[in-house]
Chains A and B, each alone.
Chain A
Amino acid sequence: MFDNRDDYIIALRYALLKRGAKQKFSLFFLILLSIAIIFLDKSSISVMTPVRSVLNDLVYQVVIVSSAPGKSVKHLGNLTKQHFITYDKNKLLQEEVIKLKNKQFNDIFLKTENKNLKNTLNLTNNRSLKSDISIPAKVILDNQSPYLKSLLINKGRKDRIMKGMSVFSKNYLIGTIVESNFLSSRVLLLTDLNSRIPVIIENSDINAILSGNGSKSDLVLEYLPDQFELEPDQIIFTSGKDGYLAAGIPVAQSYLNKKNEVFVKVLADPDQASIIYITNGQINK
């Protein structure tokens, strides 16, 4: 019995400390080093921020090169697929253009009416359009790990990208900047579990918090009133109550799934985002 236990302890000690002929470091030393790095990263020592920033930039530059072949294959596949669907889409778009042209006149009228009503009520627009910026950036890597749904982009502090800025793809909000390095940044997608934005629901005065759930077709509306029932095909806009995002940016839409349940999906498709625009909160013009 005791001999047996001794054998196990010897095997464990051997695994921890023995380096072997080709090993430069023992597992024990590297495990301690990893624990030390975790503590250093967790403790907000001022030295760690630039170290992490430099490490991030270095790794992201290698990622650009190493992910290039995979991206080229994906791009080629998408290009072929696009070629086949363009013709059908063109027909539909032509019909849609005619409809939209008619709708535009209605919008102009509503805008004028809104402006006149605001003037009558002495309401001013808080939006400071002078501070608007829109920085285009390229997606280096779209990372969909079980830990974080995020994008890596090729612009950083060098290009005035700051933590908290809003990111748009094809005029739809897709997320916010959560990490800004010198040459690169990380975008936390709306679909991530950690993402939360204040929203308002179309044709109502209901405010809620839109949070991610890991999937682009299953977002969650939190803090809705008890009796409120969401209807399908309702657009969800930013409410601007966080004081950062401008109000009225369309972010999501409710829809009926195959089981006739109402779900919420994002309007933008983060998987298709290749060129994105970073702004200081206002909708990308």
Chain B
Amino acid sequence: MFFYKFKEILLRFFPLILLYFLSFNSFEILKNHPNLIIFSFNLPVIIIYFYVLKLPHALGHGHIFTAGIINDIVVGIPLGISSLSYLILALVTSYIRNVTIREKMSAEWFTFVPALFFSNFISYIIINNFSNLSIYYIELLQNSFFTFLFFPIFYYFFNILSKLTPKD
């Protein structure tokens, strides 16, 4: 009984737990492998896009905002930049959800491009205008590309998880 209850809670709060964990640890798995660092990607962005698109009730806007603030503190950039970037992503994703009639993985994969573009565009503009930080543009471009490229893998993984999650 306890195990089922625990499993249910874990599955229900999985996206939240993962999002907060990644915000606190800034997804360092690939960092320990210098040869693989080129393949580093932004998993929080994939989580936000997938869950806002498919299961909006699983990821609250307040949590997205808080995760962004935490990420800003951990990464060391001015407060509010990641939150705004994540919220813009959520906004574009909500818009895509509202105008989409048929759900299809390939379509959702390609609509990820404008969502990612707007989200990154906003954060670059703010960093350029509101801080003295220099950005590693090539690294960011690689990061965005691999975030787009790895999306289908996580799409299938999150889809399986969402099917296992008990419905309200």
- Check if B43 is an interface residue, CB within 8 A of chain A: no
Known interface pairs A22-B60, A30-B83; A150-B76 also in contact (CB < 8 Å): yes
Is residue A171 within 8 Å, beta carbon to beta carbon, of the partner chain? no
> Is A92 engaged at the interface, CB distance under 8 Å to the other chain?
no
A31 at the interface (CB under 8 A from B): yes
Contacts of A31 in B (CB 8 A): 84, 87-88, 91
The segment out of B3-11, B105-113, B134-142, B157-165 that lies at the interface is B134-142
* Contact mask for chain B residues 24-45; partner A; CB cutoff 8 A; 1 contact, 0 none: 1110100110000100000000
Q: Is the CB of B132 within 8 A of A194?
A: yes
In the complex, the chain B residue whose C-beta lies closest to that of A7 is B99
CB neighbors of B among A57-109 (8 A): 59-60, 62-63, 66-67, 70, 74
Q: Are A14 and B98 in contact (CB under 8 A)?
A: yes
Which listed residue (A34, A62, A148) contacts B77, Cβ 8 A?
A148
B46 on interface, CB distance cutoff 8 Å: no
CB distance from B136 to the nearest CB of A (A): 5
Can you name the residue of chain B whose Cβ is closest to the Cβ of A57? Answer: B73
Question: Is A147 in contact with B68, judged by CB distance below 8 angstroms?
Answer: no
Contact B61 A30 (CB under 8 A): yes
Residues in B whose Cβ lies below 8 Å from that of A16: 91, 94
Of the residues A38, A62, A214, contact of B78 by C-beta under 8 Å: A38
Q: Are B133 and A148 in contact (CB under 8 A)?
A: yes
Q: List 22 A-B contacts (CB under 8 A).
A: A7-B99, A14-B98, A15-B97, A22-B56, A22-B57, A23-B57, A27-B61, A27-B91, A31-B84, A34-B65, A34-B87, A37-B83, A38-B84, A56-B73, A70-B28, A143-B75, A145-B76, A146-B140, A147-B75, A147-B77, A147-B133, A193-B136
The 5 closest A-B CB pairs, nearest first, are A15-B94, A37-B80, A38-B80, A11-B98, A34-B84
